Every structure is written in C-alpha cells, then in structure tokens.
A and B are shown apart, each in its own frame.
Chain A
C-alpha cells in the first residue's frame, strides 16, 4: 500500500489504539487458576484501512492500579501526621467499599455498618485483653463475630424495606452504644477497651516505623476489601442481584425465572459483614484501643457523606469520597468545626448537581449528551422524513441516514424542475445534448438503486420491439415485466422509462 494518510474513523479520535502485527496470533494472559483475563482488550479492524487494532475496552483497572500505586509510593515520604491520615483513609475506604457492597450490590439500606465493625472490634479486643488470645487470632475472631452479627441483622431485611430497615439498623447501633457505655467493667475508661495487643510492636506505636507498618496493614486491608468487592459484585452473586435491581417488576421477573435474589442478598450481606468484622479487629489493633465513639451517629454520618460525595453504589466512589472527606477531616484539622461545614457544603453541591456523586458525573454527562442527541435526531427527522428515530437508533451505519436525507433533499430540489417542457425536451431527443435541468434529473435517475430499476428488453434479436422491465435487485431473481406495452422504437422505450421514473419521483 502506498503511504497515504488515513484519518481516524469514529467518534473517539483520542482513543489510544495499538496496532498489533496482523500475522501474529492473538494471545492474552490469564489470571492464574481462573479463566479470566487481566485486562479487557478489544480487537477489531479499522474499517477504512483494514489494519488490526487493539483497544483497551475497560480502562478502570488501569486507573485503579495507578491510583493505588501512587498511594503506596508517595506515603512513605510524607510527614508523620499525613501517614496516619493515609492509614485512616485506607481503613475508611475499606469500610466504605464493603458498605457499598451492602447498599449498592445487595440493595439493603443498612446503617449498621459501623455497628458491625464496632461489635467485632470490641469482641476481638475483649478476647485479647481479658482472655489473653494472641493478636493474630483477633483477625479470626473479628470475622466470626461479624458473620454472626450480619446473620442476625440480615434476618429482618427480607421483611422490612428501605427506610424502615435503615431505621432499624440505626436503632441497633444506638442500642450497642448504650450497652457498651453501661458495661460495669469498662466504666473507668468511659466504655473503651485499651491496651489491646497489636501487630505494631508497642515500642513503635506512634513512631515513624510503627506508622509505616500501620499504613502497610491498612493498605492490605483496603486491597482485601477491593478483592471482596470484585469477587462478590462481579461474579455470580453480583450478577444475580443485578438482574433483580431496579424495580418491583425486575424482582417479580427474577422470581419467575427462578433467581432467588433474597437469598443472594442475604449472602452478600453476611459476607460483607464478616469482612467488616476483619476491619473491626484491625481497627482495634491499629489504635490499640476501641471506644464507643465508633457507634456514634456523627461517625456514621461522616462515612455516609463519603459515600454520597463519591457516588452511592460504586467502589470507586466509595474510595474517592473517602479520600476527599478524610483529607478535609483529618488533613485540615486546624480549621476546627469549619471542616465539617465544608464537607456538608461539598455534599450539598455534589448532590444538587450530580445524580450519582462525583464518579457518576461522567455517565450523567454522557446520558445528557445522548438524550440531547436523540431529541435532536427526533426533531430533525421532520425535515429528513426518511428514517424514524426508532429506526435511526437501529441503523448501525449512520452514513446511511445521511445518505437518505441527502436523497430526500435532492428529490425535493428536482421535483419543481419537472415541467411539460422538460418532458417534451426528453421526448424530442432522449439521448442528445440536454439542458441543465434535464441533465440533473437524468443524473439522479442513473444513481438509483438496483432494486426496481427499469430496464429495456429487446423482445427478439434484430427486431425493433421493446418492453420495459424492472430489475429485482436480488441475484438469481429474474426481472419482472412492468406492463405489456410494446415499443417499436428504442427512443420511445427510452422515453417511456423516463416517464415511469418521473412518475416515481413525483410520487415519492
């Protein structure tokens, strides 16, 4: 092929495209022990130059990898206070991701997330302090307690819906708080369990190495939470639940086709509660203590603000929101109560303008653009009149639509040109040198599609007898006879075809 420049085709000229060698076989590495691939590549051919192209269809893993590796690389160089902020961010983000699993994937509006964390944390800490269980076992006690708490909490969720369940879980959190504060054994510390053993050696606590170790742990926790998210939300359970989300009809549909979405919901709830139990045990170890503050409404509202700012029901929203709110809440401590006002203001503005938080803004914009485009197309069809908008959505080659519109306009322009004089001119000389108007009309006729195109058939070899036929346009299907008129001169036949075509043009 010569060295010609091909301009990119399609609506996404900015997309980075790979050009793999056309002779090479396509190969992708799989995640070990599974049939999944690491990245979702889409192979295609450029319709213009037929070169092989390779596009990353889903760029989310890339963004995740960049953001998380940035966090790991940058944090060790930060001052001590910022390191602890980063660790707290990781813990909150992990809680949020698991909460998103409950609210978004399972669709249960639970406010008992922190209560589960707190109950598991308290149990693990109590086991450590009062029973002398060594700290690695706390990470087993935590999920166990979380599992039980989740199972207990999940039971009424099948019966109550929406707000009623939210209220119930809020009540559970309050009951937990009161219970802990009232405990006789803890009155000296105001309900807190202190002196919890931890993976951070006591000498390092609140020192730089201890903080870094704590951050490492918190980061692993976040990775674990994201793994749980991936395994639950994008695998079987998540798919089952995705079918049932949306409306009552969807739920009825699921029941009709045998998807037990209630069971799936409970399973997701219990799984994420167990995971929250791990977070609770970690929380107790990270701070070496746990206080009833974790059950308080303020803390819950702060977490809720994170989810809302990032976007309810999305893992990336949960993490982004946690980052923003933690930065404001812990990073700008000198602002005092103003920082909560700032969080509230961000929450307010984001909610007024964005349908689904910051991470949903892109989709919202796309929807808006799509809606506008659809409406514009619907408005426009009045002028084109060729493709109904419903049809226009289905036609894959959009050029077809423009071609139809062009033809329609051309016809509209040609119609007034057809006058008795024009027809007389053609009758006088079908093949000769024509006027501009007639030349234009004939040009249009020549470009017509093969379907139903008129042709002239000589009836017998050597004889001057002609008939007019129409081509079927389908290979192997013979032309059909239009009428049984016979023409004795070729010019008459030419003119008859012309008249038929003019008739079709005027009728269209």
Chain B
C-alpha cells in the first residue's frame, strides 16, 4: 500500500469520524438519532459559501493578494461553518428535543422530526439555491508535497490535521472540563444526573450545538475536496450513521475506530481496478452488515466491560 492511499484513507476517515462522533455523542447523551445531521452539514456549507462570497471583494480590497488575505478567508470560512452548524443544532434543540423530551415514544419521534427537518432542508436549499454545485475558496491553497515519492495534496493534509485537532479538542473537552463531565454523567444515567444537579434541558443545548458545529467543521473541510450542493449532506449523513452504528451507538472510541476502518476500506476498494468507485457503497454496507452479524453491538460492545 503506498502512502498516497493511506493519506486518502485518512482523509475520508477524518471526515466520517467528525460526523459519526457527533451522532454517537447525541445518541448517548440526549437519546436522539439525529437524522438532521446531513441538513446541518449542507446548511453549514452554504453558510460558508455565502459568507466567503460576500467577504471576497472586501478582503481583496483591504489585504490584496497576500498570505494574510487567504488567512482571513480561511478563518471566515471555518468560523461561519461552525457558527451555522451550532445554530442548526439550536434549531434542532428547539424543535426535536424541547417539546417532546419527556413525552412517550421520544426516541422514535425525535428521529422522525429530525428526518422531516432533513427532508425539508434539502428541498428548501434546492428551492432557494437550485441544484447547481457551488465551489468554496480553497483555504489550504493548491499544490502538493512530495514525501517519499507520494503526492499529498494540501487540502488532504489540511483536512486530516484540522479534523484531528477538532476531534482532539472535543474529546479533551468531554474528558477534562466540568461541562464534559456533566455530559458524560448524563450519557450514563439520567436520573443520577438529575440528583447531581445536572439538568437535561440545560445540558442538551450545548451538546446539540457542539455536534452541529462538528458537522459544520466536516462541511468546511469536505468542501475543500468536493462542491457544496443541496444534497451534499445525504452521503455524509448515511456514512456517519452507519459508522456510528458500526462503532456501537454511543461509544466515541468505537466510532473513531469504525471511521478509520471504513476510510481504509473505501480507499482500498476504490483503488482496486476492476471494482472501482461504483462498488464502494455496496462494499461498505456489506462489511458493516458482516461485522454486525458477528458482533451485534458493534465495536463499542468489545470495548465496554462494565456490568449493568
């Protein structure tokens, strides 16, 4: 296996992991399968496109064609995507969590509401922006490095590094901060959390905003490789969901391992000459089905060894 393939696999894995971790955290803490994650992804992409489009002339006028200008553009792109993702999270909180979170049938209803949000958003984006693909400015620039004979594109490297940094920050936040401790406590026992002074309504909002921001980050990074379009969210959503399931819903390390596995699997299947890109999806599904039939609780089931 050559290095280019590894980098490509890591690139895929990084973006899948960003999506899958968001879905996984949400499921275990708020008890919601967020089908609107894809919508968040698409909206963030469009927000970044609008903001950078509006800022381009201004930045060009003030900074000219300097490194600073591209830096400002990059910051604007990432921050607008993050902000839009967090806002989407807040909307999901208001529609799919707050009205029904202590009503009967909550998990299924939350799934349906977020699904409806997803369908509505995709169609709404189609209605406003049309089906045309929109390109975002390349924040990492064009070009490639040559390392040991392999060519690594800037955007691939940037995506891997950016995703790793964001995920590291998220995990550190979950692990070491007080709010993260509260989230983890709520993930494990809602009643105990209530007796520890942790309110579900209050904690759910930052979680939803965080996972939304993760989806926004994924959108900003993936937009370096592909275009922004109304249906751009569907594939990352399906991939994120399948990987979260593969990792055993609710297990963050499981989701990361799953993302790595699937990233490499897709890179390898895509590279095999007679299979090609067309069979990537089928191969992924076949692999996940196989894993789930062998281990019904996914990878997370292997990692979890506490007793109930």
Contacts and interface: CB of A to CB of B under 8 A. Distances in A.
Contacts of B153: none
A163 interface: yes
B95 A161 contact: no
A336 B113 CA distance: 22
Given A164-B292, A341-B123, A341-B127, A352 B245 contact: no
Interface string B127-164: 10000000000000000000000000000000000000
Interface string B106-127: 0011001101110110011011
Nearest to A367: B104
B245 A163 contact: yes
Given A174-B282, A174-B285, A297 B116 contact: no
A42 interface: no
Given A163-B249, A164-B296, A337-B126, A171 B119 contact: no
A356 interface: yes
A308 B288 CA distance: 27
A175 B283 CA distance: 8
B241 interface: yes
B241 A167 contact: yes
- In the complex, which range does the number of interface residues on chain B fall in? 35 or more
A158 to B, nearest CB: 10
Interface string A162-180: 0110011011101100110
Given A174-B281, A174-B282, A351-B116, A341 B124 contact: yes
Interface string A321-363: 0000000000000001110110111011001100110000000
Nearest to A161: B296
Contacts of B298: 164
Contact of A178 (B103, B115, B241, B278): B278
Interface string A151-163: 0000010011101
Interface residues of A, number: 36
A337 B123 contact: yes
A375 B289 CA distance: 48
B198 to A, nearest CB: 25
Interface string A474-494: 000000000000000000000
Nearest to B105: A355
A355 B245 CA distance: 26
Contact of A348 (B117, B241, B249): B117
Interface string B84-114: 0000000000010001100111001100110
Closest A-B pairs by Cβ, 8 of them = A171-B285, A344-B120, A347-B116, A348-B116, A340-B123, A344-B119, A344-B116, A175-B282
Interface of A: 156, 159-161, 163-164, 167-168, 170-172, 174-175, 178-179, 182, 297, 301, 304-305, 308, 312, 336-338, 340-341, 343-345, 347-348, 351-352, 355-356
14 contacts: A160-B293, A164-B298, A167-B245, A168-B289, A171-B285, A301-B115, A336-B127, A337-B123, A338-B123, A341-B119, A343-B119, A344-B116, A347-B119, A348-B95
